[in-house]
Structure 1
Amino acid sequence: MVLGGGPGGLTAATTAAAGGHRVAMTEQRLTGGTCVNFGCTPSKALIRCARAVHDANRGDEFGFRLDAPPQTDFGSVMDRVRKMRSLSSAHDAVEMAEQAGVEVYLGHTRFTAPNAVEVDGRVLRFRKAVIATGSVPVVPPIEGLQTGDYLTNETVFSLTQLPARLVVIGSGPLGCELAQAFHRLGAEVDMVSRPSTLLANDEPEVGELIRRRFEQEGIGLHLGFEAVRADGGRLLVQGPDGTRELPYDALLLGTGRKANVEHLNLDAAGVHLDRDGVEVDDYLCTSNADIYAAGDATFPQKFTHAANATALLGIANALDEAHRPARELVIPHCTYTDPEVAEVGLTPRRARDEGVAIDAYRLDLTQVERAFIDGEEEGFGAIYRRSDDDEIAGATLVAAHAGEMISELTLAITNHMPLEALAGTVHCYPTQAEVFQRIALQHAQPQRVAVPHPR
């Protein structure tokens, strides 16, 4: 039994079915979950349109001029966003799950016993279950803020008209991505951030770089401020230098997400909660030995690829007794601002928290030919390794296509590769991905770099 039809639930259900198990999957809303319907797919489609507009405005840098500034047709932009969402959701539809051998039940699901759920009045019993119900937006307690007065990731992609003035509350990945995208599409944008930096969970240098870019583009930043009252299209915020009043036509909440588990009646199943959602051990097993959990419902790293990875792990541990711990997973993340921000593994921030000594090796993209050829030299790459170990432990990358490039370092960390292995790997020239090889060549031990040779 799989509860939830998002990326994690679909992965869990189809994987179990492929292994010869009889599988039922329940979904209360839309298959594909947040990622396809309200997250990854529509947001990246919107960002792509915004970047096209931004690039068109940079013609002087590349030897061309437009007769007039590019005009955004926001209705057409959103039509394309919804078309991309439709194309993506086709791969996650009920029919696809059923073709994979999964019995799909649509409706409200709740536990009625340690080994049974009820779906809109129908009782289904199971031998093993995986909770993969995803997450929902966090709505902060702001005086005067009523349901319907604000946008979240679940409603913003239904807009048909561009708001002239948009206020974004929150400076995490969602807030930063959409603030930049809407500004590039023509909205006047203000960001309100309780932390005094953008992307506070990433390295401080990252937040400072993105802050400079946002200020250059004209986004209003109110860092260290907290929203306290919303009243008739005006938001009162308080910060270190007093109060400010921000007018808006639309208010977007990017204040985080929480596990979507409140409706599951977990007490009936003997499943406990913690601050991240469903409480699990290192093998993703809950306090009920027959029930596992995966993805946003339990995992602190609330990314689609983390949901897929934990779903695969949960199924392997639940049905195949793989006994693999979740701590072995190496999960990168990327924020799709321009430039993009990607990190993986042990970074200086994490190393300080864990009391681990690391060595950091860094290179600006101004030193990488392809980056300045493309006019995308704002950024850097950094590789980290433990001070007492040769293996690569982590990486940070700020680059136009960081999300496409970070997988090389994820592979290296997953397979416990030393810096010398990266130094000896031939890279295409000129590419921005050379930044990692150049760092490795500068800091690896020369006598240990393997020289590639034909086999």
Structure 2
Amino acid sequence: MKEKKYDLIVIGSGSGGLGIAMGMLEFGFKVLLIDKTSEKIGGECLNTGCVPSKSFINASKTIHQAQKAQEFGLEVNGKISLPKIMEYVRQRQKVIRQHENADYLRKKGLHIILGTAKFISRSSIEINEKNYRAKNIVIATGSSPRKINIKGADLISCYTNEDVFQLASLPANFIFLGAGPVSIELGQAFSRLGSRVTIIDRSSSILKKEDPFISNALQKKLEQENIDFLLNAEIEEILSSSEAVIKTSGGEKKEIPADAVFMGLGRELDFDDLNLEAAGIETDGNKIKLNRKLQTTNKNVFVSGDAAGNMKFSHAAEMHNMLLLNNFLSPVKKKLDFSHFSWVTFTDPEVATFGWSEEQLKEKEIPYERLENDFRESDRAVTANFQDGKILLFIEKKKFNSASAKVLGGSILAPGAGEIFQELVLANSAGITIKQLMDKIYPYPTAANMHKIVVRNRILKDLKPWMKKIARGFYKFGKR
């Protein structure tokens, strides 16, 4: 069978696949993009992940703010319409889908084939009984939500992010399994719309990747919104269409109301359709073996996005694609480095985290200082009523001149934290010192001024009595 040849073949059209396919296309290469169906173009992010979830969260936040306006004398009437909210979600997806669909991408010059691809050699794939070859191939097949078997699950509606946005009515008692970002974000959103939400997790804290200083503060905020947390616990059985049994780590059992279950238990990888062995691609468990260039054991096959099995974020796929594009086109090769990576959990308030965690700093034996503060010193927080926001920074530990310390990592808990912390992300990646943050004049009153407050407090600790004495001397006897 005659093979059709391309410069690059990309399997998967989500954040990982679209990014590298369009990048190579812009440089004039002949690129083939493959996905199973036209509905999958745009990947999890557009279809069942970031775009619908953030649209849904925005709708719930608008309703929550309208209800809070009653504090100022405004009367809010009417009944929340979940179908109207879901239609809003679909409309937001429709806007983005205008430039993430097969017709649009073909007009841009991409070759697109729909169907299931599998490797037939180290540089060839088969799809729809035809063969295609390329110098390099990128696997960007994404991931899917992890599901578990629950006794009695057939008595109740169980959802993941793949189908929860198809709900037509609001569950009265909604159980969320897992206390990671997806469950926390959507749990708060459904709670604000009127569901009684219970979040269950086997661990002792929510958002396990976050520092307890941040995650514990967020949990308190969510509890104030009447969200229940059952930690060190797991669901054991569904008793009926309205009741479930929860078992704690100590063996205690508890019956709670339940009309629906959401599984936010992480993501799984599946490469069974690809016939990786034919391409000489080795796996380790359910992951593809990769080096730091995202290269498989077949030097001409690479992986991008969730399929790489490291950071499962859309912007991680962007990071992968920038690395691949550089390494495809430049003689100076780069390696994957998450030293300055950042992410945001879109609760209200948001959690924004970047750089090294305290655990990583200890593992790497990097000398550091931990700086903590709340937003009570921020006038912007006072006017906008989020004084219980938190900021956590890790900076270099300096024996002398702490002002020369660089920012190593940290987190912010505050409304709009994902925007507020961008300056800190830049400071971390560009090696900016805390003195440079101190020297900046922030417009008043802005929330980002907390960066300056935190580092000012640290620098002032170095101000010794003898320094104050010298300063007074200069002031008293210095020339005018």
Which SS does the other structure have where 2:135 is aligned? coil
Aligned to 1:419: 434
Root-mean-square deviation (CA, aligned residues, Å) is 2.2
Asked if 1:200 is matched to 2:189, the reply is no
Q: Secondary structure at the match of 2:99?
A: helix
Q: How does 1:293-442 map to 2 (within 5 A)?
A: 293-327=303-337, 330-387=340-397, 390-442=405-457
Paired letter, 2:377 = Q
Structure 1 contact 199–206 (Cα < 8 Å) conserved: no
Runs of 5+ consecutive residues of structure 1 not aligned to the other structure: 448-455
TM-superposed deviation, 1:177? 0.4
Query: What's the % identity of the aligned pairs?
Result: 28
Equivalent residue number for residue 296 of structure 2: 286
2:156 and 2:66 map into 1 onto residues whose CA distance is 35
Q: Residue 444 of structure 1: CA displacement?
A: 4.4
Of residues 271-280 and 84-93 in structure 1, the stretch that sits farther from structure 2 once superposed is 271-280
Letter in 2 for 1:437: K
1:264 Cα deviation after fit: 1.6
- Residue 127 of structure 1 is matched in structure 2 by 135
- SS of match in other structure, 1:20: coil
> Is the Cα–Cα contact under 8 Å of residues 395 and 409 in structure 2 kept in the other structure?
yes
C-alpha separation in 2, matches of 1:70 and 1:196? 39
For 1:22-171, list aligned pairs within 5 A: 22-29=30-37, 30-61=40-71, 63-66=72-75, 68=76, 71-145=79-153, 149-171=157-179
Supply the AA of the counterpart residue of 1:33: G
Are the structure 2 counterparts of residues 276 and 436 from structure 1 closer, same or farther at C-alpha, using a change threshold of 3 Å? farther
Asked if the contact 2:202–2:249 (Cα under 8 Å) also holds between the matched residues in 1, the reply is no
2:227 paired with 1:219: yes
Instruction: List runs of 5+ in structure 2 lacking aligned partners.
Output: 1-8, 399-403, 464-480
Gap change, CA 1:213 and 1:75, over 3 Å in 2? same
Deviation at 1:331, TM superposition (A): 1.9
- 8 Å CA contact 1:24, 1:103 repeated in 2: yes
Shift of 1:60: 4.9
- Please state how far the C-alpha of 1:221 moved relative to its aligned partner: 1.2
Q: What's the TM-score once normalised by structure 1's chain length?
A: 0.92
Amino acid in the other structure paired with 1:239: T
| 1:130–1:314 contact (8 Å) kept in structure 2 | no
Query: Within the alignment, does 1:238 sit opposite 2:253 as a pair?
Result: no
Post-superposition Cα deviations, 1:352-389, rounded to whole Å, max 9, x if no partner, equal 34443321222211211111211222211122123258
Larger radius of gyration: 2
SS of the counterpart of 1:200?
coil
Deviation at 1:43, TM superposition (A): 0.6
In structure 2, give the amino acid aligned to 1:295: G
* Residue 247 (1) aligns with residue 257 (2): yes
- What is the rounded CA distance, in whole Å, between the counterparts of 1:384 and 1:148 in structure 2? 46
Aligned residue pair count: 445
Alignment of 1:184-199 (within 5 A): 184-199=192-207
**1:165 Cα offset (Å):** 1.6
For the residues of structure 2 that align with 1:9 and 1:432, how far apart are their CA atoms?
37
What's the TM-score, normalizing by structure 2?
0.88
